[in-house]
Structure 1
Amino acid sequence: MTVSLEQLRRCHFAVDLGASRTRVYVKGLGLVVDQPSVAAMNTRTGALIAVGEFAEKMTGRTPDYIRVVRPISGGTVVDIEIAQRMLRHLLGDKIRRSLRRKARLRAAACAPHDADPLAQRAIIETLVGLGARRVELVDTLIAAAVGCGLPVERPEASMILVCGAAATQVAVLSLGSIVCAERLPVGGEAVDQAIVQYLRHEHALMLPNQSVRPLQLALDDNGLTPYGPASTEIHGRDVVTGLARSVRVNTAAVREAVQTPLMSVLDGIGKVLRDCPPDLVADLADRGLVMVGGSALLPGFDQLLREATGMPVHIAERPDVCAVQGIGAMLEGRIEPLVLDPLAA
């Protein structure tokens, strides 16, 4: 995925296909789509009923002939046809007509670090189905670093942690490139699942599909640290009787339940630091790391990393849109390329 800034400046729109949300940046218009990566299908007719936020609200509330699907998993398109149809509806007729008027439509897309050729091909095929004649792939780590304002082009270390829904990526960057990086199959969904499993096993309580995030928010700003509230009330369905029931949950037990996925993230950060040159690690002692991605807003996650690593930890101003804003800045030509001219003999 080595693409030049000159090639990106020729692109007309950029897409960040996330497992949780899909975002589209159109050159000259800015961010035009920021919707959940969800589509609702009528299994009898094959028709697309809804996409985005409306389709997400249908989750767990549909009759048997309506199926709610997520065509993107872990940054990889798992159903190209549905992903294409979802994108067409999210863009709308007006934007699609303006893009079709381009003589040779070019697109850019974020791709996970170390994505295999099959995953890259799936992203390209999805955008080709929208009419793109050429698709450029940009590493999500580079795009997110640019989007949150890190000086990646300087000869000094910048560390970024991309906290996605299905995966977490961590990297150290210098001189406009990735020095060392690690991709972990652990994200916000793993934390959600850990909480769901704990409540099912310990309290025989099943949660509605969309109630785990509110549970995390109920833990307050220090939710993953001992300084949060002592308990919180949770509403769900009793596993045995099937009736609605409320339980008061000890938040210390919830913090214990999510330690396994969070410890995997800490192990990944430690591996990257061990593989990083000592001079760059010395830079990070002062600069620390920057968290981006929707799961970076998990209450208390930054404090947990700060205590575990001993480094400063910062959350980007708008962590959820950093990647698409970064690739959008490249499209608009707001990023100057790094030029390393060979010395004359």
Structure 2
Amino acid sequence: MTIRLDQLRRCTVAVDLGAARTRVHLKQAGLVVDEPSVVAVNTYSGALMAVGSVAERMTGRTPAHIRVIRPVTGGMVVDIDMAQRMLRAMVGGKLRRAWRRRPMLRAAVCVPYDADPLARRAAVETLAGVGARRVELVDAPTSAGIGGGLPVQRAEATMILVCGATTTQVAVLSLGAIVSATTVPLGGETISNALVQHLRNEHELILPSQAVRPLHIALASAAGSSTTGAEVHGRDVVTGLARTVVVDPAEVRSAIQAPLTGLLDAVRTVLHRCPPDLVADLVDSGMTLTGGAALLPGLDTSMRQHTGMSVHIAEEPAVCAVKGLAAMLDGAVRPLSLTGRR
């Protein structure tokens, strides 16, 4: 169902619930929350131990009675209760002051363009549980395009990739609406998992979750044809002892070829569904990468080499979605055709 932009102008809070990070923008206050979407819970008492960056550092280090939970996956809330508790802990008194001033608080939240009714309802219930009396839903590619400064309201094609932690949304927009789009279960975590699995299979080394960063840097080296290897530390599969391995950049590039191929197939699928006139527009404008995974070293170069299109990374790509919502809340955008409402 289509909503009008004037309804978004009545909202006070803009929320981007991502699998990696949760961001909350408060009108006239700016970005008040930018934390990992992670909570740590005591399984004996049910008490919340930590949220955000503190909880994320606990991953892989907790005793049996503490459980680290990610209540959001692929931009969709999978655990409403934990998502509500996470938001309450993150916003603290920042929103309570807004609630006292405006009891009928309205909120806008990003959802994947192809989210089913249950996923949309989960997003609404999550925001309602922290005090919102009305929740407006906006497609993530549309809000990310606006936040990235793209001319999505014009009668010309704009191609955007919202690269998240677990999924990537590929969309072509024109006149403020999505013309063709698809979602693939590939993201920053998918590439990291592919690298971890490669090290386990080829080098018999188990990497901790925080040890993938040197391999990400090696991806940029691979794109630049550098011969400098990446040194990673992990645990030997056989002996269980700590061991160090030097990985060649070309080997790293080969390890991510499978997920990258899936992303390229998604781009081709979206282009095949587009009218020829819009595809012709993309010859000049190319595609724009947004989302936290857009900053993965070498991703833009690989996409450019395999598609032949110009590839741009939006300014501050990780916060494009919430910036787009904030622009709509502030009335800085001309009327657009957006997604459904509560």
TM-score, normalization by structure 2: 0.95
Q: Distance in 2 between matches of 1:89 and 1:196?
A: 32
* Structure 2 Cα separation of the partners of residues 191 and 72 of structure 1: 19
In 2: Cα distance, 1:205 partner to 1:258 partner: 17
Do 1:43 and 1:67's aligned partners in 2 also have CA atoms closer than 8 Å?
Answer: yes
Letter in 2 for 1:208: P
Aligned to 1:246: 244
1:11-90 correspondence to structure 2 within 5 Å: 11-90=11-90
1:274-294 deviation digits (Å, cap 9, x = unpaired): 111111111110111110011
- 2:229 is aligned to 231
Task: Give the partner amino acid of 1:194.
Answer: A
Q: For residue 340 of structure 2, what is the aligned residue in structure 1?
A: none
1:224 to partner: Cα distance: 4.8
Write out per-residue CA displacement over residues 3-26 of structure 1, whole angstroms, 9 at most, x where no aligned residue.
211110011101100000000011
Partner secondary structure for residue 92 of structure 2: helix
Within the alignment, does 1:273 sit opposite 2:287 as a pair? no
Within 2, Cα distance between the matches of 1:41 and 1:229?
Answer: 44
Deviations 1:39-89 (Å, cap 9, x if unpaired)? 011111110011000110111111111111101111111111111011011
Listed as ranges, the gaps of 5+ residues in structure 2 are 338-342
1: CA distance, partners of 2:112 / 2:68: 25
| Residue of structure 2 in register with 1:196 after alignment | 196
CA contact (8 A) 2:177 2:336 kept: no
Q: Are 2:214 and 2:230, in contact at CA under 8 Å, matched by a contact in 1?
A: no
Q: Which amino acid aligns with 2:141?
A: L
Aligned to 1:213: 213
- Give the distance between the partners of 1:94 and 1:8, measured in 2 at CA: 20
Does the 8 Å CA contact 1:2/1:138 hold for their aligned counterparts?
Answer: no
The answer (yes or no) to whether the contact 1:71–1:83 under 8 Å persists in 2 is: yes
Q: Identify the residue that residue 330 of structure 2 maps to in structure 1.
A: 332
Alignment partner for residue 280 of structure 2, among 279, 282, 291? 282
**Secondary structure at 1:210 match in 2:** helix
Secondary structure, counterpart of 2:85 in structure 1: helix
Equivalent pair of 2:206/2:235 in contact (CA under 8 Å): yes
Task: Give the drift of 1:214.
Answer: 4.0
Task: Identify the residue that residue 343 of structure 1 maps to in structure 2.
Answer: none
Q: What residue number does 2:145 align with?
A: 145
* Equivalent residue number for residue 342 of structure 1: none
4+ residue segments displaced more than 3 Å: none
Kept in 1: contact 2:51–2:90 (CA 8 A): yes
Paired residue type of 2:144: A
- 1:113 to partner: Cα distance: 1.4
Aligned-residue Cα RMSD (Å) equals 1.4
Report what 1:10 is aligned to.
Answer: 10
- SS for the counterpart of 1:211 is helix
- For residue 104 of structure 1, what is the amino acid of its counterpart? M
Hey, what does 1:181 align to over in structure 2?
181
| 2:215–2:252 contact (8 Å) kept in structure 1 | no
| Matched AA of 1:91 | V
Other structure's SS at 2:209 match = coil
State the distance in 2 between where 1:81 and 1:95 align. 18
* Distance verdict in 2 for CA 1:99–1:231, change over 3 Å: same
User: How far apart are residue 99 of structure 1 and its match?
Assistant: 2.7
CA 1:269–1:25 in 2, change beyond 3 Å: closer, same or farther? Answer: same
Residue 251 of structure 1 deviates from its aligned partner by: 1.9
Structure 2 counterpart of 1:258, which letter?
I
Which is further off, 240-249 or 323-332?
Answer: 240-249
Residue deviations 1:116-142 (CA, integer Å, cap 9, x gap): 111111111100101111110000000
Look up the SS of the partner of 1:215 in the other structure.
Answer: helix
Change (3 A) 1:139 1:338: closer
Distance 1:129 1:214, change over 3 A: farther
Give the letter for the 1:14 counterpart: A
Specify the alignment match of 2:295 in structure 1. 297
- In the TM superposition, residue 203 of structure 1 has moved relative to its aligned partner by 0.9
User: Structure 1 residue 128 and structure 2 residue 121: aligned?
Assistant: no
Contact 1:224–1:301 under 8 Å retained in 2: no
Structure 1 residues 122, 258: CA separation in 2 closer, same or farther (over 3 Å shift)? same
